[in-house]
Amino acid sequence: NAGVTQTPKFQVLKTGQSMTLQCAQDMNHEYMSWYRQDPGMGLRLIHYSVGAGITDQGEVPNGYNVSRSTTEDFPLRLLSAAPSQTSVYFCASRPGGSNEKLFFGSGTQLSVL
């Protein structure tokens, strides 16, 4: 059982470039999300989805776009990369309900030069 799979693990971009971080889960989870973690800090929610076709903004959505066409996939798009987006990005999923833990991907280390 693969769980939550994120690709790539590492990425270097130049300012202004665009790219997509991929995320897939095979647990049939309703909820999927993207977090970013800056050095020495906690995780901040970028965007999330409560089901296919439904997305919403989290705490820090600016500069990012998401879509959820299937239950399994939840890609994160950087529209025009900026140095402030240098961070570690985590995709996570969970079943619905307040008592359900998040399952995390292994993270993507993104550097924007």
Partner 1 sequence: AQKITQTQPGMFVQEKEAVTLDCTYDTSDPSYGLFWYKQPSSGEMIFLIYQGSYDQQNATEGRYSLNFQKARKSANLVISASQLGDSAMYFCAIGTNAGNMLTFGGGTRLMVKP
* DSSP secondary structure of 8-63: -SEEEE-TT--EEEEEEESS--SEEEEEEE-TT--EEEEEEEEETTEEEE-SS-TT
Task: Show contacts with partner 1 in window 21-60 (CB under 8 A).
Answer: 31, 33, 35, 40-45, 48, 50, 56, 58
In whole angstroms, the minimum distance from the beta carbon of 107 to partner 1 comes to: 5
Considering only 11-19, 68-76, 78-86, 92-100, which stretch makes contact with partner 1 by CB under 8 A?
92-100
Two tokens, residue 16: 């202004």
Tell me how far, at minimum, the Cβ of 61 lies from partner 1, in Å: 13
Cα separation, 26 vs 74, whole angstroms: 12
CA 20, 25, 26, 31 dihedral sign is negative
Which residues in 57-76 contact partner 1 (CB under 8 A)? 58
97 makes contact with partner 1 (CB under 8 A): yes
Footprint of partner 1 on this chain (CB under 8 A)? 31, 33, 35, 40-45, 48, 50, 56, 58, 88, 90, 92, 94, 97-104, 106-107
